[in-house]
Every structure is written in structure tokens, then in C-alpha cells.
Amino acid sequence: MQSLKELIRFMRPYRKWAILAPLFMVLEVAMDLLQPALVERIVDEGIANLDLQLVVNTGWLMMGVALIGVIGGMGCTFFAVKAAEAFGADLRGTLFRKVQSLSFSNLDKLHTGELVTRLTNDVVQIKEVARMIMQMMVRAPFTMIGSFAMAIVTSPKLSWILLVLMPIELVFVIFVVRKSFPLFSIVQKNLDKLNTVLQENLMGVRVVKAFVQMRHERNRFETTNESLKDITVKASRIAAVAMPLMGMAVNLGIVAVVWFGGIDVQQGDMQVGQIIAFVNYLTRAMMSLVMVAMLVMRLARAQASAIRVSEVLDSEPDIVNSPDALTDFSPTGHVVFDNVSFSYDGDQGDPVLKGVSFDVEPGQTVAILGTTGAGKSSLVHLIPRFYDVTGGCVTIDGVDVRDVNTDVLRRKVSVALQEPILFTGTIRDNIRYGRPEASQEEVEHAARMAQAHDFIISFPEGYDTEVGQRGVNLSGGQKQRLSIARALLTKPAVLVLDDSTSSVDVETEGRIQEALASFMKEMTSFVIAQRISTVLNADKILVLDDGMVAAEGTHDELLDSSPIYREIFESQLSNGAMANV
């Protein structure tokens, strides 16, 4: 329960509520426990003595006790909910801020999908458990102990029945849990397997159909389905023993009370009302025991969530600003890579870049070519310090990027990423994402250069059109053009276009290049592209192969000197040749 305990610190600001809640619960439980004792009084003192007044008074008293009880119950709920929700919100907020502080390599390790689950489902799980602890973790044990005590008070002679039955009940609970829990985790595994088959069939639908393996897939599914059914039936049947078994323990107690209590009544040692009350306390005590067992199981599950959440909380950002990092930085854009090596897994990992050196003058446009996995994206990601080099250094205007405050640095280096991600909001908001204060003219200017203006104004709401999850569906090429406009608007000293026109049709791509030609003279630009046609006019072409600079020069120079360049050129010719359609 270590991780769960660690999270308790988030409850500290709300400890007043967290303490009040159980206190109110104690009140409710105490009132609950009074009820059987009052019934006993009605039966043994009222009815036995034919004391009508006492019966009526006690009846009203029971009503009063019920009313006080409800105040306790409602008070507990009130404070427990307030504390749990505030706790949950703080936990979520802390996690969210943590994620914002993490670097790219942290994010690579945590996986996007998992991270979302941790911030949503896991936090909810933990919050629910926090509330349960404040309510049920007090209620159940207190009811159990209280009922037990009241039972002894009611009839010390019969209390041995409880002493015998409670351990038996406990053994039953543990037995069923032990037996069925492992089975249910097998059920889960089988369910996962079935889902995998499903997912594969959805993703590989073309392959399944092309190779006519529908029958094979059906067999595969049906086999998995059958074993899922078998194990579910088995697990459920064992788990189904739980309730009758535990009920049986309680009922055995009732029979024992009737018989042994009957003897006592006959001997005049006991009254009927006591029997009724005792049966009631016995039932409550035993049922609370079951509740406690179930709570413990629930805690164990929340523990898994707590571990996942703690993992995020405990991760340290890989990239932090040094205390004396430059905050005043206005580079002209002279970018130098000096013997840079880089690996995603630190020093030990497979190097992605090996001894890369080059020098780019302000205002130059550099095209980077290479096959998939050659290290093109990795290279440009080092300029805004998305990752840190593992060897050598990257400097802008002679300053190592690690010596500049990352916020300041990234405002000077704009990247249009490979995958164009847009956020919920208007098209305008998305374009001025990097510079929210930009005017409409500036936004439009950027959009025009990115060849996005025309399609934007073709929407009825123009720049106010909503995009993102609930907005219009943009094609991949349209998204990329917005992403380019977004990068252009920041007017950076260094502009990076990371394969950002791959889904744009060739004709539009040509127009973007034309429009950008003069704009890009004012800044240093890096352009990663698959198509040769996009790089023909660059001041400098870097050919990357297996993490190393294989060749460097202009198009004409490279055709003469670099066999690799020529090979790429030739292999892309058919596609490249279609460029200016």
C-alpha cells in the first residue's frame, strides 16, 4: 500500500473535512446500533408489562434516533465528497503540471495513451477510494465492533456464537477470494486475447480479405471465444459460492441463537426481546465483516492505479534550465552542429546521430535528405532542445542551446512537426497558437504563404471555423498547411519544416515554396523532405545516412560528388518527376 500512502499528502489541505467525515459516520453508526436495543426494550419491557406508554415513547425515540442518524450520514457524505473531490482535483492538477514540465524523452517513455489513462481513469479510481476510506472504512469496522459489543451487552451468554462464527466467516471470505481472484485475472487475459484478435482483424482487414483467410480468422476467434467462455463460467461459478456461504454462516448463527437462546428463555435467564436484538446485532456484525473484506480488495485495485500515478509524479524532467540560463537571446540564426552525437536512450543506447558537424549561415536554407531512420527528425529536434545531445554541441550564434532558457530558445526556433496536431478551437486560434497576440492581418499573411487562406475562407465561418475533436474534418494536407502557417506566424530566427508537406499535393507544395522563398531569406531554415523536388533550390543539402552526414553541398555539387545522393535522386525520380503537375 506504499504508493497509496504516498498520495495521502494531497489530502493534507483538506484534513479538516477528512477528519469530520468519519466523525459524522460514527454518529450514524451509533444511532443504527441503538435501534435493536430499543426494539428489545419495546418487547421486553413494554409488551411484557403491557406498558403502552413505554411502547409508544420508545417508538418515537426510535424515530428520533433515526433522524439523528441521518444527520450523521449526510454530514459524513458532505465532508467526504468535498474532501475527496478537492483531493482528486489537486492530484489531477499536480499530474497535469508535471506532464507540462516533462521533456520529450520523458514523454517517449510514458506513452501518450497510457499517460491519458493515468490522468483520467487512475485519478478517478484513487479519488473514489479516498472517499470510500472516509466513509466505508470507518463504517464497516465500526459497525462490526459496535455490533459485537452490543451483542455482548445484550447477552453475554450467547456471545460465544459470534466468537465462533466470525472466524469461520473470515475463512470463507478468504477462501473464495483466494480461489476466484486468480481465475478472474485469467478471465481478463483471455478477454485481452479476444480483443487482440478483434483489433488485428480490424487493422489487417485488407490482408485477411486479400489472402481469403476469413474462415481461418473465424476459427481463431471462435477458439479464443470458447476458452474465454469456459474460464468465465468456471470463475463465476466459484465466485458464486461466496454469497450463499457467507449468508449460511449468518443463518447458522440465527439458528444457534434460537436454540441456545430458547433454552435460556425457558430457564428465565433471557427474554425474547433480547433474542430479537441479538439476532439483529449478529447479522450486522457478520455483514460488516464481508464489507471489510471487499474494501480490502478494492484497496488492492486502487493500489495499481496509485503506482501508475506515482510513476508520473516521480519522473524527473530530463531537460531543465540551468540557474544562469540566458533569458535575453536574439540570435541572427547562425546554427552550428559541432561533432554532435545523439541517442534516445542516453549514452548506452544505439546512436541515432554520429559525429554530425555542419555550419549554417544566417538566412540560409538547408535541406536534409535521407532514408527513414537516417536521423533527420532527430537532428532538427536538437536545435530547439527537444532532446539533449549525448556528445558534441549545438550552438546558435555561438551560444550552446543548453545555456539558453528553453522557453526563450523555443520562441526563437519554430518547428512545424511531421504530424500536424491541431487543438480544439478556431482555425485562427490554431494559427496563432505560438503567438496569441498576433493580429488578423498577420494570421492571414501566414495562412496565405502556407496556401491555407483559400480553403479557410471557403468554410462558411472562415477563420472562426472550429477544428479539433468536435470541429470540421480537415484533410491531412490541410492540417499540414495550418501547421506550417502556425510556424511561420512566430517569425522565428530558425524555422524547421519537418517533412511538413508530405500530405500536401505537389502543386500546392510548389506554390508554398514559391511563397516562402522571400520570407525564408530573413531566417535560417531547415527543410526535411522526401521529395527531391522540394530541396532543389536549397542553399545547402545535407544527406544523412545511418546517422552520419554522407554528403553536403548544393544539388549540382552533390549529383557530381555523392553516389548516395544520386541513388536517392534516381529512385525518387518517378515520383519526383510528377512534382510540378
Which cell numbers in the block locate residue 499?
517533412
Question: What's the CA angle centered on 529, arms 525 and 532, to 5 degrees?
Answer: 110
- Environment class of 487 (CB within 10 Å of its CB; exposed 0-12, middle 13-18, buried 19+): buried
Q: How far is the CB of 240 from another protein (least distance, A)?
A: 4
CB 39 within 8 A of CB 276: yes
Nearest residue (CB) to another protein, 325 versus 361:
325
Per the CB < 8 A criterion, the answer to whether 337 and 392 are in contact is yes
Can you give 409-443 as a three-state secondary structure string? HHHHEEEECCCCCCCCEEHHHHHCCCCCCCCHHHH
> Which alpha helices (DSSP H) does 118-213 contain, by range?
123-154, 159-203, 205-210
Q: Which residue has the cell 498576433?
A: 438
Minimum distance from residue 123 beta carbon to another protein (Å): 9
Smallest separation (angstroms) from another protein to the CB of 258: 5
In the complex with another protein, the residue whose CB is nearer, 462 or 468, is: 468
Kindly state the smallest distance separating residue 286's Cβ from another protein, in Å: 13
C-alpha angle with apex 396: 391 to 399, nearest 5 degrees?
Answer: 75
- H or E element, residue 238: helix 214-239
Would you say 320 or 339 has its CB closer to another protein? 320
Which lies closer to another protein via its Cβ, residue 134 or residue 356?
Answer: 134
Q: How far is the CB of 234 from another protein (least distance, A)?
A: 9
Q: What is the dihedral of CA 158, 164, 167, 173, to 10 degrees?
A: -80
For another protein, give the closer residue by CB, 359 or 573.
573
Q: Residue 205 or residue 339: which is nearer to another protein going by CB? A: 205
Q: Min. distance of Cβ 305 from another protein in angstroms? A: 9
Alpha-carbon distance of 389 to 412, in angstroms, equals: 19
Closer residue to another protein, CB minimum distance, 72 or 333: 72
What's the grid cell of residue 490? 512566430
Smallest distance from the beta carbon of 377 to another protein, in angstroms?
Answer: 11
Q: What angle do CA 107, 109, 114 make, to 5 degrees?
A: 75
Separation of alpha carbons 9 and 60, rounded Å: 45
Q: Which has the closest alpha carbon to 282: 437, 439, 152? A: 152
Least Å distance between CB 196 and another protein?
A: 6
> Shortest approach of another protein to residue 48 CB, angstroms?
8
Cβ closer to another protein: 2 or 100?
Answer: 100
Residue 502, φ and ψ in degrees, nearest 5? -60, -35
User: For residues 65 and 166, which CB has a smaller minimum distance to another protein in the complex?
Assistant: 65
Q: Looking at beta carbons, which pairs linking 124-129 to residues 24 or more positions away fall under 8 Å?
A: 124/88, 125/301, 125/302, 125/305, 126/4, 126/7, 126/88, 126/91, 126/302, 126/305, 126/306, 126/309, 127/84, 127/85, 127/87, 127/88, 127/91, 128/84, 128/302, 129/4, 129/298, 129/299, 129/302
Buried b or exposed e, range 120-143, using 16+ CB within 10 angstroms:
eebbebbbebbbbbbbbbbbbbbb
Of 63 and 339, which CB lies nearer to another protein in the complex structure? 63
**Closer to another protein by Cβ: residue 212 or 347:** 212
- Give min distance, CB of 193 to another protein, in A: 10
Please say which residue, 19 or 52, places its beta carbon nearer to another protein.
Answer: 52
Q: Which three cell numbers stand for residue 302?
A: 486502487
Q: Least distance from C-beta 201 to another protein, angstroms?
A: 7
Query: Furthest-apart CA pair in the chain: how many Å?
Result: 119
